[in-house]
Amino acid sequence: MTSQVDAASVRRGDVLVIGAGPAGIAAAITAQRAGLGVVVIDKATFPRDKCCGDGLTTGALRLLDRLGLPPSSVPSWTLCRDVTLRSPSGRTIELQLPDDGQFAAIATREDLDDALVRHARSLGIEVREATEFLAATDATSEGVRIDTSNGSFDAHTVIAADGMWSPVRKAVAPEDGAYLGEWHAARQYARNVTGPAARRLFVWFEPELLPGYAWSFPLQGGRANLGYGILRGGSVRTAESKALWQEILARPHVREALGADAVIEEKFMAWPIPAKVNKSALSHGRVLFVGDAARATDVLTGEGIGQALLSGMLAGEAAATNQPAKSYESAMRRHFFADHRMSVVLGRVLANERLARGAMRVIDGGDWRKEKFVRWMFEDEARASAFTPRRWHRGYLSSRGAYAN
């Protein structure tokens, strides 16, 4: 297909990033550090809300630290060290993350994404808001032409960070059938949280949700992010999950965690979670897919911010090579595939209530075991690092956290 845009009006550059969420901004900053010229476009105007659990794992925090994002730039940034797990049988395990750096934090996506956009601009990266992708044309070995609502671009490499239903993917590599993701999740906020959930992070492995779970993540000002995630095609149908969620919110252990005065806000948001990075096209020609567009979410937990940041950084590095697609796919296989397989196996364990209860008993086997587990749970190390010797290093599960300096 040939573009009808006047060639004289086309903007030319090294890298065009489509999508200004964590994956896109991570890609842009990394590509700029490699000496490339970068433009980022997004159809939204920031700040904007994004349906998410708002949790930042140790892995995500380390990447944000590497990108130079100061926590002080994110108004809702809330540190958390204390974690409570509740097994399907009702067994409660209390865990504590180290205090040498940051190992877990919560920040609303409205605040986090806006801070990342502002950070990119402070580094001299051009971010164009309210600019919608329209078409990809004239794709050659030398680059891709992208038509948008605010003009056209010729880019040597295009990085598509435009979400699970990526319009860029549909334009350049259409697939058969509708993709609904592997998980279904939902979120509500609570205010006037006065119970332990005001400062502790709760994960409830309710029997009906397995291998999924429900959560409460503390935010500043007595607020909390509450939600649940379920495996699509599991024992609970997505259409029935909202009613079950209302029942879970009324359970005594949940009300006790939130406090008697807690108010669940009416706004209820649900979203699908893509988690099949090992079976998805990661590139097409000179277009690289990152974050949800690469379906890179952790299939065990549904966590996606750390995966988005990492895939974006890998794409930014690959854009500076002679073969961006080959370099990127190789890096993604190295960093993601073993962890994905490990998460699939662990998910099968958690899907069985008896095995899930047994796993909780193993975790609750002493302070040393608890400490190592909670660091692993929050992705202080890659999920399958214990089984991939190339990633072994001194200080495994004992190094300082992010922002420790």
Our measurement of the distance from residue 252's CA atom to the centroid of its chain's CA atoms, rounded to an integer in Å, reads 31
Task: Please tell me the predicted confidence (pLDDT) of residue 48.
Answer: 96
Token pair listed for 51? 């349906």
Task: Please tell me the predicted confidence (pLDDT) of residue 3.
Answer: 45
Per-residue pLDDT of 252-306, as tens digits, reads: 999 999 999 999 999 999 999 999 999 999 999 999 999 999 999 999 998 999 9
Same domain, 135 and 213: no
Relative to beta strand 201-204, strand 213-219 is antiparallel
Total Cβ atoms within 10 A of residue 276: 16
Task: Please tell me the predicted confidence (pLDDT) of residue 383.
Answer: 87
CATH number of the domain within which 36 lies: 3.50.50.60
CATH number of the domain within which 230 lies: 3.30.9.100
Task: Please report whether residue 41 resides in a domain.
Answer: yes
Instruction: Look at residues 293, 321, 345 and tell me which one is the last residue of a structural domain.
Output: 345
Name the range with the highest mean pLDDT among 141-155, 156-170, 351-365: 156-170
Task: Please report whether residue 353 resides in a domain.
Answer: no
Instruction: Look at residues 245, 273, 301 and tell me which one is the last residue of a structural domain.
Output: 273
Number of domains in the chain: 2
Task: Please report whether residue 76 resides in a domain.
Answer: no
Same domain, 221 and 321: no
Instruction: Assess whether pLDDT exceeds 50 at residue 324.
Output: yes
Strand partners, 227: 187, 215
Three-state helix/strand/coil letters over the chain: CCCCCCHHHCEEEEEEEECCCHHHHHHHHHHHHCCCCEEEECCCCCCCCCCCCCEECHHHHHHHHHHCCCHHHCCCCEECCEEEEECCCCCEEEEECCCCCECCEECCHHHHHHHHHHHHHHCCCEEECCCCEEEEEEEECCEEEEEECCEEEEEEEEEECCCCCCHHHHHHCCCCCCCCCCEEEEEEEEECCCCHHHCCEEEECCHHHCCCEEEEEEEHHHEEEEEEEEECCCCCCHHHHHHHHHHHHCCHHHHHHHCCCCEECCCCEEEEECECHHHCCCEECCEEECHHHHCECCCCCCCCHHHHHHHHHHHHHHCCCCCHHHHHHHHHHHHHHHHHHHHHHHHHHHHCHHHHHHHHHHHCCCHHHHHHHHHHHCCCCCCCHHHCHHHCCCCCCCCCCECCC
Task: Please report whether residue 210 resides in a domain.
Answer: yes
Same domain, 166 and 243: no
Token pair listed for 312? 């974006």
Task: Please tell me the predicted confidence (pLDDT) of residue 176.
Answer: 67
Relative to beta strand 133-140, strand 82-86 is unpaired
Across 69-83, 102-116, 144-158, 348-362, least confident range: 348-362
Check whether the bond before 211 is cis (ω within 30° of 0): yes
Instruction: Assess whether pLDDT exceeds 70 at residue 7.
Output: no
Same domain, 122 and 47: yes
Instruction: Look at residues 273, 297, 314 and tell me which one is the last residue of a structural domain.
Output: 273
CA distance 256 to 194: 9
Same domain, 193 and 172: no
Same domain, 228 and 310: no
Same domain, 43 and 121: yes
Instruction: Assess whether pLDDT exceeds 90 at residue 44.
Output: yes
CA distance 209 to 206: 6
Percent of the chain exceeding pLDDT 70 equals: 97
Same domain, 267 and 288: no
Same domain, 189 and 247: yes
Task: Please report whether residue 398 resides in a domain.
Answer: no
Task: Please report whether residue 402 resides in a domain.
Answer: no
Task: Please report whether residue 392 resides in a domain.
Answer: no
Same domain, 239 and 304: no
Same domain, 61 and 127: yes
Relative to beta strand 151-160, strand 11-18 is parallel
Name the range with the highest mean pLDDT among 11-15, 31-35, 176-180, 347-351: 31-35
Check whether the bond before 70 is cis (ω within 30° of 0): no
Task: Please report whether residue 103 resides in a domain.
Answer: no
Same domain, 27 and 40: yes
CA distance 68 to 108: 19
Name the residue range of residue 242's domain.
183-273
Total Cβ atoms within 10 A of residue 68: 11
Task: Please tell me the predicted confidence (pLDDT) of residue 137.
Answer: 84
CA distance 342 to 281: 20
pLDDT greater at residue 7 or residue 342 = 342
**C-alpha distances out from residue 121 to 128, 240, 296, Å:** 10, 43, 26
